[in-house]
């Protein structure tokens, strides 16, 4: 699901070359499993549609938001006949506004995130240093704090993969599909070029950890996984949009 778009100077994303500005998608993924539903990232808060400066503060100077009513994650889910308040697991890659901003809408889910990311979000100084805002993620969810890899349904089909570096406890998600394994990288890797060139954005939590995570993503790709990058507008053109499925 595309839950809005963000435009910024391409340098903000570490995009190669001098491309001026770049508009990138804000993805969210619904995973339907016999044991329950899981959402991977929740996009931006709907207030961002009408008052981006009020919601994002200084980040509204960095990012132009294109985000229409109905594109918030609960609206996208409703168009699939899925009630946002009945999603079982809310898996956050990390706590940035374009990944956890819609958490409030997924109100009854178990909240699955890396313990390191949760801890960073609880420490106001660390949260601020990483660009986290409590109004995105402080909504009383029951946290399921994981430390490293975590098999969500106990059958190997949906596995959290630690890919630290972009933020203290960033994680990606591996999903076993009929067509083979898929890895939703989120911001461990914005674009295909990030993986090919190890071209990091200028602002990351820990560059060495992020490079190590990119090498692990490369190894999984070389072993046959299909990678879906965090904000790659070129790749996104070919990604099936719900209700179509990635298979």
Please choose, out of 41-49, 70-78, 96-104, 215-223, the segment that lies near Zn ion by the rule CB under 5 A.
96-104
Q: Measured in Å, how far apart are the chain's first and last C-alpha atoms?
A: 15
Q: Could you tell me the smallest distance in angstroms from the CB atom of residue 231 to Zn ion? A: 9
Closer to Zn ion by Cβ: residue 72 or 187:
187
Closer to Zn ion by Cβ: residue 78 or 128:
128
Site string for Zn ion, 143-182 (x = CB under 5 A): ----------------------------------------
Q: State yes or no: residue 187 binds Zn ion (CB under 5 A).
A: yes
Rounded Cα distance between 180 and 175, Å, is 9
Rounded Cα distance between 217 and 192, Å, is 11
- Which residues neighbour 226 within 8 Å (Cβ) at sequence distance 6 or greater? 179, 180, 181, 182, 183
How buried is residue 50: exposed, middle or buried, by Cβ count under 10 Å (0-12/13-18/19+)? exposed
Decide: 9 and 27 in contact? Cβ < 8 Å.
Answer: no
Total chain residues near Zn ion (CB under 5 A): 2
Q: Residue 218, by phi and psi: left (phi above 0), alpha (psi -120 to 50) or beta?
A: alpha
Q: In the range 8-27, which residues lie near Zn ion by CB under 5 A? A: none
Closer to Zn ion by Cβ: residue 22 or 82:
22
Residue 168 per-residue DSSP state = T
Helices (H) and strands (E) in the chain, counts: 11, 13
Q: Could you tell me the smallest distance in angstroms from the CB atom of residue 99 to Zn ion? A: 6
Q: State yes or no: residue 96 binds Zn ion (CB under 5 A).
A: yes
Closer to Zn ion by Cβ: residue 71 or 136:
136
Q: Could you tell me the smallest distance in angstroms from the CB atom of residue 190 to Zn ion? A: 9
Closer to Zn ion by Cβ: residue 56 or 82:
56
Please choose, out of 89-97, 117-125, 153-161, 202-210, the segment that lies near Zn ion by the rule CB under 5 A.
89-97
3-state secondary structure of 128: helix
Closer to Zn ion by Cβ: residue 84 or 204:
204
Q: Could you tell me the smallest distance in angstroms from the CB atom of residue 77 to Zn ion? A: 22
Q: Could you tell me the smallest distance in angstroms from the CB atom of residue 34 to Zn ion? A: 31
Which one, of 194, 192, 177, 205, lies nearest residue 238 by Cα? 192
Q: Which residues bind Zn ion (CB under 5 A)?
A: 96, 187
């Amino acid at each position: 699901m595309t839950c809005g778009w963000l435009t910024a100077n391409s340098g903000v994303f570490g995009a190669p070359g001098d491309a001026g500005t770049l508009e990138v998608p804000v993805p969210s993924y619904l995973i339907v499993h016999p044991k329950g539903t899981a959402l991977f990232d929740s996009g931006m808060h709907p207030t961002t549609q009408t008052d981006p400066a009020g919601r994002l503060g200084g980040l509204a100077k960095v990012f132009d938001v294109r985000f229409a009513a109905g594109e918030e994650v609960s609206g996208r889910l409703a168009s699939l006949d899925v009630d946002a308040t009945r999603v079982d697991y809310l898996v956050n890659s990390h706590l940035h506004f374009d990944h956890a901003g819609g958490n409030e809408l997924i109100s009854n889910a178990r909240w699955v995130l890396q313990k390191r990311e949760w801890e960073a979000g609880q420490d106001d100084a660390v949260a601020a240093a990483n660009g986290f805002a409590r109004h995105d993620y402080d909504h009383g969810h029951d946290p399921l704090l994981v430390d490293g890899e975590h098999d969500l349904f106990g059958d190997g089909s949906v596995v959290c993969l630690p890919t630290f570096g972009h933020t203290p406890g960033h994680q990606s998600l591996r999903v076993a599909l009929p067509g083979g394994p898929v890895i939703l990288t989120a911001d461990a890797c914005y674009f295909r070029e990030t993986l090919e060139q190890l071209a990091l954005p200028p602002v990351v939590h820990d560059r060495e950890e992020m490079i190590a995570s990119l090498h692990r993503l490369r190894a999984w790709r070389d072993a046959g996984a299909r990678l879906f990058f965090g904000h790659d507008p070129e790749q996104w053109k070919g990604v099936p949009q719900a209700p179509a499925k990635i298979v």
